[in-house]
Structure 1
Amino acid sequence: MASKDFFLVAAIDFGTTFSGYAFSEVTEFQADPLRVSTCTWGSSTNSVMSLKTPSSILFRPEKTFDSFGFEAEDKYSNLSLDNMHRSWFYFRRFKMMLYNSKDVHRSNLLKDETGKEMPAIDVFAASIRYMKDHLGDFLSRRSTQIRDNEIRWVLTVPAIWDDAAKQFMREAAEKAGIDGQALLLALEPEAASMCCKYLPVERMETRIECFSPRSKYLVLDAGGGTVDITVHEVNPDGTLKELHKANGGPWGGTTVDQAFLDFLSEILGADVLQTFRDGHRDDYIDLLREFETRKRAVKPDSDSRVTFKMPISLHELYRKMKKAEIRDAVRDHPKYGGKITCAGDKMRVDADLIIALFSKTCYAIVKHIRDLLQNTSTRDTSTFLMVGGFSESPMLQDAIKKGFPDKKVVVPPDAGLTVLKGAVIFGHNSKMIVSRIAKYTYGFKCWQQFDPSIHPKERKEVRNNRYEVQGCFDKIVEVGQPVSPDSPIGPQQYSPQENEEWFSAKLFASPNKNPLFVDEEGTLRIGEVEVDCRDDKGNVSSADVYLIFGGTELEVKAVHSDTGRETKAKFDFLG
């Protein structure tokens, strides 16, 4: 979609913990790229107001969509009060499925909070559709008359996701009613980088020069589920190139939530906490909301106790299951005795215990960055940009600053919205990132003539009256190699088998630089594309296959050897 074809860019940041959308018109972007509009969300049961809403979705018993975000949480809580929630489908923090699953398919099922299953793509599509429709209503209330075909959509995805997960999100968005031709996928740390590039110096906590030509900086995008890291260098013309393949891990803010639940389980018993979660969903949701608020205020130098409201239902359940009181359990606990007190429905916890909930997560992030900076291409990186909701945590900021005292650490204002606003900017100017680093060694599965110096003799077969080896890895791109969407990789020439009019190109990826076979340990089947080799008269010849790397999504094209006819094809990563 060319710029003249759309009047507004709308971005959806679909996060593990929270989601939101933002938008700007073309004229607004031209006047000020940071002039981006967002929506304010709130809960009907308390005074919570936020620029994002929880990534929670509720379906009716017949699996039709009911509500999303705060509304879904509130309604599910009310249903559980009347013990009517068990037949409903309630999903929260389900985005991590696409990171944790090593085998993403269209047919994947997703378990809700009580173990009931629905097709994952239906859950994701309904979530995206809700955001899309909510934006439409928002624009209508503003009397902004823009048709669907005048909107360019941007959907954020972690840079560490594989191609199958990205395709899954694209297909979910298309199922939600977004035209695939109008949809871009933006890598989250890159979007954040683009937002920071436009921030004026007076809005930053400290003066930075990381966007001057030839400078290098690291983007630490710490969200709810994952930590996504990229390292960029600024080209003389202001465009950006990636210096190291996207990396990171599952060390987002939800790991601190899990540490809190483990802490409660250690005090109360896993059986009590599980029964509380299953039987008192409303109070369980309130408890997690309360911790979400409390954890944002935890500082490394805190010395005062942190107070939590413990639901009365939890006290009653503990009394029923353990024949004792929670206050007695914390008083007599061999590890926590004297560090926790209970009074009424309040639990007061020593600051050092709450601070300790962050230690494992912060250690993992610091260690990963330290290992990353050992690479020759990243060693002289001088500035860290911390973005994403978890980057607003004083605990994580302190861990990064202490772990890297020689680096300049910058946390932009509203770090939790940086990705979302940057995604809008990316939609207006998606050509800012001109070069990325290949995350794997990519190659096609093929037959090769048997070579006793490299091929095991047990793999040789007789084919076409000679010894050949099947399942060989025909390398196209090597891991760590710079790739650009403007420079297709190839060509690799392939021909159909005898009496065939097409061939199937099966793409594989390996973490190794020089894999020999596609069945080596660690090698993944990425996708498959079929190429028609007939010309206009029905004659069959070979075709040159090019891979277009460097964009946010992998593309392929085939050029007919005789006619020069170009065929655009798409890999199926979900087959």
Structure 2
Amino acid sequence: DVIFSRRWEGGDPGVSNQKTPTTILLTPDRKFHSFGYAARDFYHDLDPSESKHWLYLEKFKMKLHTTANLSTDTEIHAANGKRVKALDIFAYALAFFKEQALKEHVRRNRQSRTFLVENVVGELWSELEEGDRYVVMDCGGGTVDLTVHQIRLPEGHLKELYKASGGPYGSIGVDYEFEKLLCKIFGQDFIDQFKIKRPAAWVDLMIAFESRKRAAAPERTNPLNINLPFSFIDYYKKYRGHSVDHALRKSK
């Protein structure tokens, strides 16, 4: 049997998600609260006066790729600027995944269902012969990894010719570039403060960007427009003393 990952609860309207963001939310006393879309949505709905006490960490897995000297003392910055030990965050995440896997196992045993690969995949597999090699490409949110397998018959075993290798070239890199662009136009100091002072609006902005990002295609030539939340426009004017339009014109 081939078991597919379940669809995650939450997420964006009209979008089917078989992955959940690497996002975790800790309570003000640093206890685990939620993971993925549940963490994002709960944090989004918090009053700004409350949210500044909660520890919201997104895309924390990429810390492994951006820190040169990882250790048990490595720390990650939460959205409110506070530091949390990376070891604690990954421990919370693994405990969450273990709990979800056990729940899924129980659910599927109750349903007694068989999960099959699509016919086209089955047909492709049946055409492989002894000695055939193929590349497996795992394009995730954070990284892109490649490995090479070889078919060994008659048992149908696989031999790993090249171990999985790759780098931080997943779609999260596009998010980072978008944030860098915002910092270039509006200033790093403003973006840092906006995340702290208007956390819900920051989440809304990144949701809007994710939606537009999924609409991008290599053959597309027209620009993708992203609407800034009113809270962004309003806070920027209060923070800088001039309008968003002024900043955009100045950046050209």
Give the TM-score range, shorter chain: 0.7 to 0.9
Equivalent pair of 1:210/1:216 in contact (CA under 8 Å): no
Map 1:154-303 to 2 at 5 A: 199=117, 202-203=120-121, 211-237=128-154, 238-303=156-221
Please state how far the C-alpha of 1:217 moved relative to its aligned partner.
2.2
Counterpart secondary structure, 1:251:
coil
| Contact 1:218/1:229 (8 A) holds in 2 | yes
Shift of 1:256: 0.8
Q: Is the 8 A contact 1:77 1:285 kept in 2?
A: yes
1:137 CA displacement: 4.5
Q: Percent identity?
A: 32
One-letter amino acid of the structure 2 residue matched with residue 233 of structure 1? Q
Query: Matches of 2:228 and 2:91 in 1, distance apart?
Result: 36
Q: Give the Cα–Cα distance (whole angstroms) in 1 for the partners of residues 217 and 144 of structure 2.
A: 20
Query: Which AA in structure 2 matches 1:82?
Result: P
1:105-132 Cα offsets, whole Å, 9 max, x none, are: 4444333223323333322222222233
2:84 equivalent to 1:118: yes
Q: Where do residues 50-65 of structure 1 align in structure 2 (5 Å cutoff)? A: 50-65=17-32
The one-letter code sitting in structure 2 at the alignment partner of 1:258 is: Y
Measure, in 2, the Cα distance between the counterparts of 1:113 and 1:47. Answer: 27
2:90 is aligned with 1:90: no
**Which residues of 2 match residues 30-49 of structure 1 at below 5 A?**
33-34=1-2, 36-43=3-10, 49=16
User: Residues 141-156 of structure 1: matches in 2 within 5 Å?
Assistant: 144=110
What code does the residue aligned with 2:43 have?
Y
TM-score by length of 1: 0.39
User: Shift of the alpha carbon at 1:220?
Assistant: 2.3
Length-normalised TM-score, structure 2: 0.81
What is the aligned partner in structure 1 of residue 244 from structure 2? Answer: 326
Given that 1:42 and 1:48 are in contact with CA atoms closer than 8 Å, whether structure 2 keeps it comes out as: no
**SS class of match (1:324):** coil
Kindly tell me: are residues 301 and 240 of structure 1, through their superposed partners in 2, closer, same or farther at Cα, counting changes over 3 Å? same
Assess, with a 3 A threshold, how the Cα gap between structure 1 residues 264 and 99 changes in structure 2: closer, same or farther. closer
Output the aligned Cα RMSD: 3.3
Q: CA deviation at 1:314?
A: 1.0
> Which letter maps to 2:177?
A
Confirm or deny: 8 A CA contact 1:43 1:49 kept in the other structure. no
Preserved contact between residue 48 and residue 199 of structure 2 (Cα < 8 Å) = no
How many equivalent residue pairs? 249
Q: Distance in 2 between matches of 1:321 and 1:210?
A: 63
CA pair 47-227 structure 1, distance change in 2 beyond 3 A: closer
How far the C-alpha of 1:280 sits from its partner, in A, is 1.1
Residue ranges of structure 2 left out of the alignment (5+ in a row): none
2-structure distance, mates of 1:247, 1:274: 33
Q: Which residue of 2 aligns with 1:161?
A: none
Which one has the bigger strand percentage?
A: 1
For 2:119 and 2:29, locate their aligned partners in 1 and report how far apart those are by CA, in whole Å.
Answer: 53
Q: Distance in 1 between matches of 2:11 and 2:119?
A: 38
2:45 to 56, 66, 78: 78
Structure 1 counterpart of 2:55, one-letter code: F
Does 1:66 find its partner at 2:33?
yes
1:217–1:136 distance in 2 versus 1, CA, 3 Å: closer
